[in-house]
A = this chain, B = another copy of it.
Amino acid sequence: MTRYKLTLAYDGTDFAGFQRQPNQRTVQGVLERALFKMTKGQAVTVHGSGRTDSGVHALGQVVHFDYPGNIPAVNMLRALNSLMPLDTEILKSEIVSEDFHARFSTQGKRYLYKVDRGRYTNPFTRHYAGHYPYPLDLTRIQTALADVQGTHDFTSFAASGGVIKYKVRTIYEATMLDVPESNQLHFEFYGNGFLYNMVRILVATLLEIGNGRRDVHDFLRLYAVKDRQQARGTAPASGLYLKKVYY
């Protein structure tokens, strides 16, 4: 048995999310199927750093698994890239010790969210960015992003249905980059953990602030009320990328 850590990218468009589900095409599912071929029939369970939802992309998702045998890390990368479908790519393969766990060893994560500001949906980014065609005051968004950074109770920003009760998280960095050449905004959030749908709710709230439909410091009120109904919007999955997992 050898433990491998993989860093992988995927286009989430044609996946029903990361996590294995019966009769659905998932990232965990195609990875485990490729490993099943390599072991000639021994089941290998893949552990991800966390789930990504249907339509959500990854630039640096991390997984680990225990492989029955010991092949060089680079051969694992080559074999999996030849067996996996073209909407996934293994970027890095490492042999790690048995105390590494893709989920439990996580120190933090970084998400990217792309917003297309065009008047109409851009045919080439419709699966790769959220779309917000309304006016935005970027200065208001920058001001609000300062309120996102820090340690807060994000209860108002967690989709209901989660089982996690403790909803205090620390956001180390919350930034927005204006990319005029592609008419996009790129938001990045780096924090010690994220609740279910949290990034997408943060982005929807930031856009409403930029559009003037919320007070510029509405985040402070939303932290206090701890009420998901107050932060109504959820930006589309298509704009979200799991960029990096920190260990």
Interfacial residues, chain A to chain B (CB-CB below 8 A)? 9-11, 57, 81, 86-90, 120-124, 126, 128
Contacts and interface: CB of A to CB of B under 8 A. Distances in A.
A60 to B, nearest CB: 12
Given A87-B126, A126-B86, A81 B120 contact: yes
Contacts of A121: 86, 89
A86 B124 contact: no
A233 B188 CA distance: 42
Contacts of A89: 120-123
A178 B9 CA distance: 23
A210 B10 CA distance: 30
Majority secondary structure of chain A interface residues (helix, strand, loop or mixed): loop
A77 to B, nearest CB: 9
How often does this chain occur in the complex, in copies?
2
A121 B128 CA distance: 17
A123 B10 contact: yes
A54 to B, nearest CB: 16
Contacts of A122: 9, 89
A126 B13 CA distance: 13
A36 to B, nearest CB: 21
B88 A57 contact: no
B120 A124 contact: no
Contact of A57 (B10, B57, B124): B124
B86 A9 contact: no
Given A57-B124, A86-B126, 19 more contacts: A9-B122, A9-B123, A9-B124, A10-B123, A11-B123, A11-B124, A11-B126, A81-B120, A86-B121, A86-B123, A87-B123, A87-B126, A88-B123, A89-B120, A89-B121, A89-B122, A89-B123, A90-B120, A124-B128
A76 to B, nearest CB: 14
A124 B81 CA distance: 15
Contacts of A124: 9, 11, 57, 128
Among A89, A120, A122, chain B packs the most CB atoms within 10 A around the CB of A120
